[in-house]
Amino acid sequence: MTIKSQSEGREFARQLVEDTAALVSPPDICIRVAELIQSPETSAGEIGEVIIRDPSLTARLLRLVNSPFYSLRGEVDTVSRAIAVIGPQELYSLVLTVSAVKSFSNVPNSQVNMDTFWRHSVYTGLIARGFGKHCNVLHPERLFVAGLLHDIGCLVLYKKMQDASRDLLMSAGGDEEVFYQAEQQELGYTHADVGELLLETWSLPTTLCSAVRWHHEPCQVEEGRIEAAVLYVANILANRSMIGGYCEQTNCLTPIDPAALEIIGVRADDIDEEEVIGQAGIAFAETASVLAA
């Protein structure tokens, strides 16, 4: 089905999200933690009491906090201690991350190798976080969430538009940028559009939703330009890595747009690709195992 009008495509994407949202709605614990964090009177103990009601979530959070993802010196053995060390907003990002992976993993897909999909997602998130730190972006930890969920719209398309998605994936030949452009031409919307609309239903910050929408075209966005540009670079570098490609046989020919680097305030010569990818690799195995547990 080819949709010529961009506005028509955007509306179709919105309908896809509405049809899918019930399958991946945020769990009650995410909603409750978000409410508590927004209240200035909430204590770390109160937030911790809500989280520990879910033993599985608690265990995953503590494993992440004590993993190379943070590289803390001392062991963190309670949720309240974790809040004191990394802060309530960062803890909420982890709650959302763990919950999102669990919720989206329940969406069946026969179009894609889910292990490969999540490897690419985790790798992109880790690179975005590390690259954000390197570029002195404020609160780079939130970029991990954006990176982890940047392609989440693909899962909706794989489920709801099976034939079209299969044809587009085959025609792209392993090049994600070609896939993105083909979506625009054939559908009038993209997985990035769907991802933004879906994450809005999870009440993610507007800047991160925009970053997801524009992670292939960061120069097009007004709000969240730095986040979108970092995510754009991270996605390309993940596709250039040995195990972080978005499909089994990645063919990443996409050069990094100097205009995107200008948004971040760095030059191509400032990026040591091997180091950036390698640093992500250090935290990859344990981070992925925690999220997949």
DSSP structural state of residue 220: G
Separation of alpha carbons 57 and 51, rounded Å: 7
Whether residue 228 contacts residue 219, with contact meaning beta carbons closer than 8 Å, is answered with no
Q: pLDDT per residue over 54-108, tens digit each?
A: 998 899 899 988 988 888 888 999 999 998 888 888 888 888 888 888 877 766 6
CB 13 within 8 A of CB 197: yes
Q: What is the pTM of this model?
A: 0.88
Residue 87: Cβ within 10 Å count: 15
**One-letter identity of residue 285:** A
Lowest mean pLDDT of 118-132, 236-250, 253-267, name the range: 236-250
- What's the pLDDT tens digit per position in 171-192? 887 788 889 999 999 899 999 9
CB of 163 closer than 8 Å to CB of 156: no
The residue ranges of every structural domain in the chain are 6-25+103-292
CB-based contact 132:143 (threshold 8 Å) = yes
CATH H-level superfamily of 6-25+103-292: Hypothetical protein af1432 (1.10.3210.10)
**DSSP for 86-112, written as a single string:** H-HHHHHHHHHHHHHHHHHTTS--SSS
Model confidence at 213, pLDDT cuts 50, 70, 90, reads very high
With beta carbons less than 8 A apart as the criterion, state whether 229 and 264 touch. Answer: yes
Collapsing DSSP to helix, strand or coil, 112 comes out as coil
